[in-house]
């Protein structure tokens, strides 16, 4: 997996107009490109309740991102430098996760979106 140095320009945890809980972390890369990370549904539709409900997966994803970046909420991410882990180059770079710089978080654990999904969804 490749990693690209990036600066977080904004971060938000929100429910979009369709009621889907997700997060977005906007970054600027060293090479001048910008990208949004996340956009992952952190909840699911419950057919019995006929509404979206929270999930253990969503809670764990939020928890791991906050711990990895050593912040208490998404607003504290702005201005942090991180590694964006992914595959591809330039405009075809596909983010797969994030990792704090070792200088900011000596535990430096990466959060790979698919790994969390495999633990909680794809059992």
Average pLDDT over residues 16-36: 92
Q: Give the contacts of 95 (CB within 8 A, at least 6 positions apart).
A: 35, 37, 84, 85, 86
- The pLDDT tens digits for 35-86 are 999 999 999 999 999 999 999 999 999 999 999 999 999 999 999 999 999 9
Question: What pLDDT, on a 0 to 100 scale, did the predictor assign at position 122?
Answer: 67
DSSP 88: S
Residue 111, burial from CB neighbour count under 10 angstroms (0-12, 13-18, 19+): buried
- pLDDT tier at 89, thresholds 50, 70, 90: confident
Q: What is the mean pLDDT of residues 23-28?
A: 97
Question: CB atoms < 10 A from the CB of 81, how many?
Answer: 14
pLDDT at 101 over 80: yes
- Count up the domains in the chain and report the number: 1
Range of the domain at 79: 2-120
Read off the pTM. Answer: 0.90
Q: What's the average model confidence in pLDDT over 87-113?
A: 90
């Amino acid at each position: 997996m490749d990693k690209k140095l990036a600066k977080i320009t904004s971060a938000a945890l929100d429910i979009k107009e369709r009621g889907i809980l997700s997060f977005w972390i906007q970054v600027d890369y060293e090479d001048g490109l910008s990208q949004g990370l996340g956009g992952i549904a952190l909840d699911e539709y419950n057919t019995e309740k006929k509404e979206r409900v929270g999930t253990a997966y969503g809670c764990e994803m939020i928890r791991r991102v906050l711990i990895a970046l050593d912040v208490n909420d998404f607003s504290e991410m702005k201005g942090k430098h991180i590694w964006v882990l992914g595959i591809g180059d330039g405009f075809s770079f596909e983010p797969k996760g994030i990792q704090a710089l070792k200088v900011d978080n000596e535990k430096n654990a990466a959060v790979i979106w698919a790994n969390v999904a495999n633990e909680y969804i794809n059992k």
